[in-house]
Amino acid sequence: MKDEPPTSQPIPPSSLLPDEVIRRITAEELLRFEVQERLRKKETDSSDSKTVKFLNSPFGLFLLSAIFISGLGGLFQLRTEQLKQAEARREVQEKLLSEYRWRLNSLDRLIAETEKATDVDTKGADSILIYRIAYGATEFRTSLPEFQNESWAGIITQLDEFGISESAVQAINATNDLMSGPYAGQDSIKRGYFAPGILEDRAKSLHLYYDNARKRIYDTSVWRVFAA
């Protein structure tokens, strides 16, 4: 007959451990965690040290210099190209503005002559000359040959395409009036002439656009950037 285990003393649960065993396990776990942290930090420091050592080496310094010079060279080339393009645009704008001023001076002279004239034939002849200025006719001598047969409104339109738009519409309308009137009457050979004050009014619009364009072109030139 087999011996039966005594039933008077219950078997303690396996999860209950003595305090000493628990302290020993806890200490071992803390030690293992500390060792892992030290090893991890050592690996990181070692990696950083290798990186710094490489960058301080002759080859590392050469590589850094090559990257820096390459980036700086690319930036300089881009900036140089931008300045060349800006200068090329400015040269075109200056040509257009110079032709504009040339026609404006011619118009001012004819207006002064017309206002002093007392006979309608002189006024009619001046109206034809004013028409040629606005139209860019071959009979009118432009500042440069390239502007021959180029209307005054066409010059304003080109400046407008560069963003010089303030008062552009009024200036174009003024040049149209210089070619087609309103006329106050006709001279002896059927040439229209302007009533007093009409030409001065149109000239004001043209002068206003010139002042705005000149300020825009020269105040935003690349030379202003260098001088600043």
pLDDT value of position 39: 58
DSSP reduced 3-state for 188 = coil
The per-residue pLDDT for 46 is 52
Encode pLDDT of 41-77 as tens digits: 655 555 556 666 665 777 666 666 777 677 666 766 7
Looking at per-residue pLDDT, the higher value among 156 and 83 belongs to: 156
Q: Where are the beta strands (DSSP E) in the chain?
A: 185-186, 192-193
* Residue-wise DSSP of 37-50: HHHHHHHHHHHHHH
User: Are 201 and 128 spatial neighbours (Cβ–Cβ below 8 Å)?
Assistant: no
Share above pLDDT 90 across residues of the chain, in percent, rounded to a whole number: 54
Report the alpha-carbon distance of residue 183 to residue 62 in Å, rounded: 79
Closest among 83, 101, 127 to 221, alpha carbons compared: 83
Distance between first and last Cα of the chain = 114
Query: Phi, psi (5° rounding) for residue 197?
Result: 90, -20
Mean of pLDDT values over 171-186: 95
Average pLDDT over residues 185-191: 94
Per-residue pLDDT reduced to its tens digit, 125-170: 999 999 999 999 999 999 999 999 999 999 999 999 999 999 999 9
Work out the percent of the chain whose per-residue pLDDT is above 70: 71
DSSP 22: H
Q: CA gyration radius for the chain?
A: 45
Coil, strand or helix at 221: coil
109 vs 45, more confident: 109
Q: Is-contact 104 207, C-beta < 8 A?
A: yes
